[in-house]
Chain A
Amino acid sequence: MLSIKNLKAQIEESGIEILKGINLEVKPGEVHAIMGPNGSGKSTLASVLAGREDYEVTDGSALLDGEDLLDLDPEERAWAGLFLAFQYPVEIPGVSIANFIKTAVNAKREHLGQDPMNAKDFLKTMRAKMEMLEINPKFMQRYVNDGFSGGEKKRNEILQMAMLEPKLSILDETDSGLDIDALKIVANGVNALKGTDNSMIVITHYQRLLNYIVPDHVHILYQGRIVKSGSKELAKELEAKGYDWIKEEVALQETNA
């Protein structure tokens, strides 16, 4: 599904290197969690994969089903099946969620040479997905993220994910700013969307989200590198011991090297 090899990226303006050679393999149907202390490069990795302009890729590749994402514009990456649930979704006043999602769905269909979805079919699909995610149908008439609570914003992200049916979803700190109830609702949504042919990367600072979205693999990102990978037990270890032991381990390795 996703194959990242030796990915290096820096901030375009300052030239400061943030990702220092990331390697990651994600297979269809897998859920990977990427954890790490603040400033380790987690969100940068999400941004670079989605094609944010603030970063410049200096080395490596990131293939999605054999196609190098790094050669594509952000919208082309979306058409190729990449979805990023934003940590801070933007507000678009005056644009209803229904209109926004319909535009997105039809943009992809247009790219694939398909006719745009008609209003009736679209609403039918939308209602079905909203029911599955336990979202009130009135929600779709609201303006995108305009005046939304943290929980509503994240629910909107999950709804878009459900409608766009991506191959690979990256959830960037989806748990940040959520109380436990909102967290559960979002996690239930994500679990409902999990399938055998789509994959997810869950980026989180805390382990608590992983109580609800159970990962197949856990990776620890530190100083721009994946320094440790393991099963879901690794997350629990982190929860118990914090990040300090990882930092010490890395420091030790560097001294030895």
Chain B
Amino acid sequence: MSDFQKTIDEVTQSEYKYGFTTDIEMELAPKGLNEDIIRLISAKKEEPEWLLEWRLKAFEQWKKMTEPEWAYVQYPKIDFQDIHYYAAPKETKKYKSLDEVDPELLKTFEKLGISLNEQKRLTGVAVDAVIDSVSVKTTFTEELNKKGIIFMSFSEAVQEHPDLIRKYIGSVVPMTDNFYAALNSAVFTDGSFCYIPKGVRCPMELSTYFRINAANTGQFERTLIVADEGSYVSYLEGCTAPQRDENQLHAAVVEIYAHKDAEVKYSTVQNWYPGDPETGKGGIYNFVTKRGICDGDRSKISWTQVETGSAVTWKYPSVILKGDDSIGEFYSVAVTNNHQQADTGTKMIHLGKNTKSRIISKGISAGQSNNSYRGLVQVAKKADNAYNFSQCDSILIGDKCGAHTFPYIESANASAQVEHEATTSKIGEDILFYCNQRGIDTEKATELIINGFAKEVLNELPMEFAVEAQKLLAISLEGSVG
């Protein structure tokens, strides 16, 4: 075996750095999914009747649907009756200050490097931390309140702003959109809600840290962002998860609604447990539906994602470009290592005139992983002068992994301009030897090369997130290159 191969194999054995769990008392609903469980969730949340009806309708639809099988991923059949659909920390009262928060929980945040104290003091980032379904702490609410910005947990929003929730829930991702969206609509337990009023520029990055923290608990987050006319918001979502033996299902829904002249920037760093390095066992199934609509003219939605975790990822943050002159963007870095599988990409649906979209996808595959880009650019009949540019680059580390590109283009308007570029490269011995000869060891060289490869996407992230993302890329691929 060459040294090259040896080092590749070493990567495959690099341990997941965030594999710890927090010992907090949990309240679990019995396993299984039926109307009663949905009624229980709704009751626990003290939801209005219409929302319960909405959930039950989604559940009825879901029962008629089948799991999608077109993605280039393989995993054992999920037993949806073997999942807890509700888990809440027993201590559910709201806190006035951080001092009242369970110290165990604060410790978890500190391990993740996102202690609320630090966040509050140093960065000016409002954090809505979600631990297993129940929102624990929201900061900076007052400052946001002054601007009329609403940023709170989904459950709170249901209580405090039912009209807004009722108006927008399911307006971008209909409950019947797909199997997992329907499931989420039936059983979602919490998430975040954000509303930016007309003409308001949100003065800080809004950030949510998700963390899956109960064995066998399906996570069904729901995020809704509404940007009213002429407003702007940058929203950050970051995730890490503790090490687990049994598969954990995560089926989130994110909806973004952008009115006239509004702009929403949504950034994600995803680092869920990818499964046992040797066998791939125990990793997160990440089946997420993310979609935004540029409803008003000149509105803009931009997705940026750095995907390093999960055993299986199935995720296509998309933009419906309905308003004239609206813009959709998708910037993605997806890393797969060991036995990870990712099928991710975007859909840009051009409906309005002069709509523009831009897709930059960077896939990094190592170990025995499979990494697929799947994207659709659709131009409707009336979308005169629609323009899309897509760039899909893949880089391979070692010779046991795979990179795949599935671009779909459907144009019904002759004036549309659609450009697609794709490259595949390899971190080969040549480039590593070059770095080594300059005194840069293989690990540092890999970090350098990968960060260079992903630069165009990392540049789109807010500064503090970009630094974290760079570190994550390095951690995910530690030792993976020989």
Q: Chain A residues in contact with chain B, CB under 8 A?
A: 50-54, 73-75, 77-79, 83-84, 86, 89-90, 92-95, 99-101, 103-104, 107-108, 111, 143, 160, 164
Within 8 A of A (CB), among B160-209: none
B68: Cβ under 8 A from any A Cβ: no
* Other contacts beyond A75-B439, A89-B434, A143-B452: 16, CB < 8 A: A50-B433, A53-B433, A74-B436, A75-B436, A75-B437, A78-B439, A79-B439, A86-B437, A90-B431, A93-B452, A93-B453, A94-B456, A95-B448, A103-B448, A108-B439, A111-B439
- Number of CB contacts from chain A to chain B under 8 A: 76
Contact A103:B452 (CB < 8 A) given known A74-B437, A160-B438: no
Q: Closest Cβ of chain B: how far from A152's Cβ, in Å?
A: 16
Once the chains bind, are A164 and B451 in contact (CB under 8 Å)?
no
Docked pose: A53 CA to B2 CA in angstroms? 9
Within 8 A of A (CB), among B415-456: 429-431, 433-441, 444, 448-449, 451-456
Question: What residues of A have a CB within 8 angstroms of the CB of B455 in the complex?
Answer: 94-95
Docked pose: A93 CA to B426 CA in angstroms? 12
B140: Cβ under 8 A from any A Cβ: no
Docked pose: A199 CA to B449 CA in angstroms? 31
Once the chains bind, are A78 and B453 in contact (CB under 8 Å)?
no
**Which residue of the partner chain, among A53, A77, A90, contacts B434 with CB atoms under 8 Å?**
A90
B3: Cβ under 8 A from any A Cβ: yes
Docked pose: A160 CA to B444 CA in angstroms? 18
B4: Cβ under 8 A from any A Cβ: yes
Contact A104:B439 (CB < 8 A) given known A92-B449, A94-B456: yes
Question: What residues of B have a CB within 8 angstroms of the CB of A107 in the complex?
Answer: 438-441, 444
Once the chains bind, are A74 and B433 in contact (CB under 8 Å)?
yes
Closest 6 pairs (CB-CB, A-B): A94-B452, A95-B452, A78-B439, A74-B436, A94-B455, A104-B438
**Which residue of the partner chain, among B3, B431, B438, B454, contacts A164 with CB atoms under 8 Å?**
B438
Question: What residues of B have a CB within 8 angstroms of the CB of A75 in the complex?
Answer: 436-437, 439-441
Within 8 A of A (CB), among B216-275: none
Docked pose: A103 CA to B2 CA in angstroms? 26
15 residue pairs from A and B, CB less than 8 Å apart: A51-B436, A53-B3, A74-B433, A74-B437, A78-B437, A78-B438, A84-B437, A90-B430, A92-B431, A92-B434, A94-B452, A95-B449, A103-B444, A104-B435, A164-B438
Docked pose: A143 CA to B431 CA in angstroms? 14
Docked pose: A62 CA to B441 CA in angstroms? 22
Question: What residues of B have a CB within 8 angstroms of the CB of A92 in the complex?
Answer: 431, 434-435, 448-449, 452
Once the chains bind, are A73 and B439 in contact (CB under 8 Å)?
no
Docked pose: A92 CA to B455 CA in angstroms? 12
Docked pose: A14 CA to B439 CA in angstroms? 29
Once the chains bind, are B453 and A94 in contact (CB under 8 Å)?
yes
Docked pose: A50 CA to B449 CA in angstroms? 21
Docked pose: A84 CA to B434 CA in angstroms? 9
B441 to chain A: closest residue by CB: A75
B458 to chain A: closest residue by CB: A94
Docked pose: A104 CA to B440 CA in angstroms? 6
**Which residue of the partner chain, among A53, A94, A160, contacts B429 with CB atoms under 8 Å?**
A53
Docked pose: A16 CA to B429 CA in angstroms? 20
Q: Closest Cβ of chain B: how far from A106's Cβ, in Å?
A: 9
Q: Closest Cβ of chain B: how far from A29's Cβ, in Å?
A: 23
Once the chains bind, are A100 and B448 in contact (CB under 8 Å)?
yes
B430 to chain A: closest residue by CB: A90
Q: Closest Cβ of chain A: how far from B389's Cβ, in Å?
A: 18
Q: Closest Cβ of chain B: how far from A162's Cβ, in Å?
A: 13
Once the chains bind, are B436 and A78 in contact (CB under 8 Å)?
yes
Contact A73:B436 (CB < 8 A) given known A90-B431, A92-B431: yes
Question: What residues of A have a CB within 8 angstroms of the CB of B435 in the complex?
Answer: 92, 104
Q: Closest Cβ of chain B: how far from A116's Cβ, in Å?
A: 12
A101 to chain B: closest residue by CB: B438
B2 to chain A: closest residue by CB: A53
Docked pose: A90 CA to B434 CA in angstroms? 7
Question: What residues of A have a CB within 8 angstroms of the CB of B434 in the complex?
Answer: 86, 89-90, 92
Q: Closest Cβ of chain A: how far from B411's Cβ, in Å?
A: 30
Q: Closest Cβ of chain A: how far from B319's Cβ, in Å?
A: 25
Question: What residues of B have a CB within 8 angstroms of the CB of A52 in the complex?
Answer: 433
Docked pose: A75 CA to B433 CA in angstroms? 9
